[in-house]
Amino acid sequence: MADLFQDYPFGRAWDEMFSGPGVIRPAYESVHAALQTLSAADLKARADIMGRTFLDQGITFALGGVERPFPLDLIPRIVTAQEWKVVQTGVPQRVRALEAFLADCYGPGRIFQDGVVPRRLVTTSPHFHRQVAGMDGQDGARIVISGVDLIRDEHGAFRVLEDNVRVPSGVSYVLENRQAVSQVLSEAGGDQQIRSVAEYPGRLLAALRAVAPANISDPTVVVLTPGVYNSAYFEHTLLAREMGVELVEGRDLICRNNRVFVRTTAGEMPVHVIYRRLDDEFLDPMQFRLDSMLGSPGLINAARANNLTIANAVGNGIADDKLVYTYVPDIIRYYLNEEPILLNVDTYRMEDREHLEYALEHLAELVIKPVDGSGGKGIVIGSQADASTLSRARQAILENPRGWIAQREIALSTVPTLIGDKMRPRHVDLRPFAVNDGNSVWVLPGGLTRVALPEGELVVNSSQGGGSKDTWVLAAPDEPISAPIELQAQAPGQAILPTTEEDDVDPDGQEQGQGFIPWQESPAQSTGAFFFDPPVSPDDGGEGLRHQQGQQQQEHATC
């Protein structure tokens, strides 16, 4: 049988399976052994079965209106217990520091007075929302869900690429990838103890209940989705289903007297915690974008009155700002009095004169990023850019130094990936997901490994040929594979009596008239012309709604 790993090339990057030609790292031995028994055709057939399953189950993302299965490479990415320790301690440290930073920014602003971070940095961020200044009801639990993007540099050390503490997406793929790989490549695990990822929904629900407003003993949690046209819609349904809570859209919610209700078949039921999967700007048309069709007017006031918890909190975007990112090591030292466990990538601030001069001189060796970009938008990789792109980047930086950072180009670590009928190294990153219940931060042992499928590609993105891998975190000998979660007992939900209005329902709804009545059509349908007036549901905004629904997500790009 032809060796899948024949002519496997080695470059500058750290390869996670091989420490040198033919030298396999111990963690990967069982995977490598399992692959030796398979031909490329076998692997291809298994990958096809998996793709088919994803398509049938609707585990897809929408690209240009076409649903595609999320490309998953069968070869898992393995992190040893030793290596994981850094992530497991480093990510919570970062989350705790950013929590303190956010509470401070929207509160007293001590860090500005002490001169660690300039106030200008925060107030010029497009994600700084004065609407939530002074709201401290959610301090310590503003970042319930976070996805800190990590990469491994040329020496195999984890470094933070960016923080995502608004609406990080991708956890559904962590759960689905594990299931898919265990179904089609079950032999690869060998006798290794792989830590379970299945407890995530339970942990998330427990955390969401824990951060509910203080005066609620049995909180109702809902997941708020932009709608079916959002590319992460599958993830929203999965989380709601696995947590056993309702998946609501903005039109299901209603705010009255600073309390939030959801419309049900039996009237209006109170809601206490919203895990929202849409951006701040669309959440509350009363406070932000007036034209938002996705949110519900009044949510912010309900949160301000401590009747509602919004997870993640509004205004978290300032901590995601890539210019703030450059200050995070200082932020950790300032609030926690600790040294950062996870290092940043070396970054240059374009506002700093010396940094700017250096960066403009060495533009062709650096990576230029917009500070508020996501999904790989606007990133210029100096070594791969032509002269005109570089001069445009230079121009853009000079026009708006606050809008850009420059980073050293890192050769991201590689993992073997099936390309055609051969294994080839491809660059990967890692998004570990962390859940914060206000007291402690729990890191899901696993995370989303994204892989850039084109050769040498450093930007990892679904629309640019990105795929993913199952991520195995190995258990240390004394470590449990999964820990039991304690959930509060859930009492049956209680409704309060809605306000009374005149009974305007015709008791029998009998319609008069002779002869046959045309077929009734569903109001929710967008297909085609109907016999009688096309019944459009009152809040169906058509194209505009689709467009808004499509925008909401914190996409994942790496470079």
Partner 1 sequence: MLSRIAESLYWLGRHVERADCTARILDTYLHLLPTGSWATDHQVIRSLVDSMGLSGDDEVEGADSGKLIRTLVFDTERASSVSGALIAARDNARGVRDALPLDVWECLNVTWHGLRSRAATGGGPHTYLRWVSERCAIAAGLTDQVMSHDEGWHFLAVGRALERADMTIRLIAAADSQTGSVPPWRALVSACGGWEPYVREHGGSIGQRTAIEFALLDRKFPRSVLRCLTAAEASLAELEAAGSMQQRDPRRDPSSARRIVGRTRTGLDYRTGTELSSDLPNLLSNLQRTVASAHVAVSNSFFRRGDEVTWANIGSEGVLA
* β-strands 246-248, 221-224 pairing: parallel
The four Cα atoms 484, 196, 241, 547 give a dihedral, to 10 degrees, of 130
Binding of residue 48 to partner 1 (CB under 8 A) = no
From the list 42, 39, 63, 59, the residue with the least C-alpha distance to 51 is 59
**Residue 237 neighbours by CB under 8 Å, 6+ apart:** 225, 247
Q: Do the Cβ atoms of 59 and 70 come closer than 8 Å?
A: yes
Return the half-sphere exposure (C-beta side, CA atoms, 13 A cut-off) of residue 91: 34
The number of residues that bind partner 1 (CB under 8 A) is 66
Taking the complex as a whole, the smallest distance from the CB of residue 486 to partner 1 amounts, in Å, to 24
User: Closer CB to partner 1, residue 240 or residue 415?
Assistant: 240
Binding of residue 506 to partner 1 (CB under 8 A) = yes
User: Closer CB to partner 1, residue 54 or residue 84?
Assistant: 54
- Whether the bond between 177 and the residue before it is cis, its omega within 30 degrees of 0, is no
> Pick from 330, 409, 521, 540: which binds partner 1 (CB under 8 A)?
521
Taking the complex as a whole, the smallest distance from the CB of residue 50 to partner 1 amounts, in Å, to 15
- Supply 517's token pair: 């009545």
**Residue 117 neighbours by CB under 8 Å, 6+ apart:** 111, 324, 327, 330, 331
Spell out a b/e string for 401-439, using b for 16 or more CB atoms within 10 Å of the CB, else e. Answer: bebbbbbebbbbbbbbbbeeebbbbbbbbbbbbbbbbbe
Binding of residue 251 to partner 1 (CB under 8 A) = yes
User: Closer CB to partner 1, residue 228 or residue 476?
Assistant: 228
* Coil, strand or helix at 403: helix
**Residue 107 neighbours by CB under 8 Å, 6+ apart:** 134, 136, 139
> Pick from 82, 496, 536, 547: which binds partner 1 (CB under 8 A)?
496
Range in contact with partner 1 (rule: CB under 8 A) among 6-14, 306-314, 479-487, 520-528: 520-528
- Supply 51's token pair: 């793709």
Binding of residue 507 to partner 1 (CB under 8 A) = yes
> Pick from 41, 290, 387, 489: which binds partner 1 (CB under 8 A)?
290
Q: What is the DSSP string of 431-491?
A: E-EEEE-SS-EEE-SS-EEEEE-STT-----GGGTEEEEEEEEBPPTTS-SS--------P
> Pick from 337, 339, 515, 543: which binds partner 1 (CB under 8 A)?
515
> Pick from 130, 522, 542, 547: which binds partner 1 (CB under 8 A)?
522
Binding of residue 57 to partner 1 (CB under 8 A) = yes
Binding of residue 68 to partner 1 (CB under 8 A) = no
> Pick from 133, 364, 487, 495: which binds partner 1 (CB under 8 A)?
495
Q: Identify how many contiguous H helices and E strands the chain contains and give both numbers.
A: 16, 26
Binding of residue 386 to partner 1 (CB under 8 A) = no
> Pick from 58, 107, 190, 454: which binds partner 1 (CB under 8 A)?
58
Contact code string over 204-243 relative to partner 1, x by CB under 8 A: -----------------------xx----xx--x--xx--
The three-point CA angle 84-85-88 to 5° equals 85
Range in contact with partner 1 (rule: CB under 8 A) among 35-43, 382-390, 400-408, 509-517: 509-517
Binding of residue 6 to partner 1 (CB under 8 A) = no
> Pick from 33, 198, 524, 536: which binds partner 1 (CB under 8 A)?
524
> Pick from 254, 343, 390, 485: which binds partner 1 (CB under 8 A)?
254
CA distances in angstroms from 196 to 99, 185, 415, 477, listed in the order given: 27, 16, 21, 15
Binding of residue 249 to partner 1 (CB under 8 A) = yes
> Pick from 136, 139, 218, 246: which binds partner 1 (CB under 8 A)?
246
User: Closer CB to partner 1, residue 136 or residue 521?
Assistant: 521
> Pick from 115, 399, 486, 519: which binds partner 1 (CB under 8 A)?
519
> Pick from 354, 478, 501, 543: which binds partner 1 (CB under 8 A)?
501
**Residue 149 neighbours by CB under 8 Å, 6+ apart:** 160, 161, 162, 163, 164, 429, 430, 431, 556, 558
Rounded Cα distance between 82 and 9, Å, is 27
User: Closer CB to partner 1, residue 277 or residue 349?
Assistant: 277
> Pick from 532, 536, 542, 547: which binds partner 1 (CB under 8 A)?
532
CA distances in angstroms from 151 to 145, 328, 363, 414, 426, listed in the order given: 20, 17, 22, 10, 13
* Coil, strand or helix at 499: coil
Rounded Cα distance between 147 and 374, Å, is 13
> Pick from 388, 489, 527, 543: which binds partner 1 (CB under 8 A)?
527
User: Closer CB to partner 1, residue 399 or residue 533?
Assistant: 533
Within its chain, how far is the Cα of 198 from the centroid? Answer: 17
User: Closer CB to partner 1, residue 108 or residue 267?
Assistant: 267
User: Closer CB to partner 1, residue 35 or residue 262?
Assistant: 262
Residue ranges in contact with partner 1 by CB under 8 A: 55-58, 227-228, 233-234, 237, 240-241, 246-249, 251-252, 254, 262-268, 290-291, 297, 495-498, 500-511, 513-532, 538-539
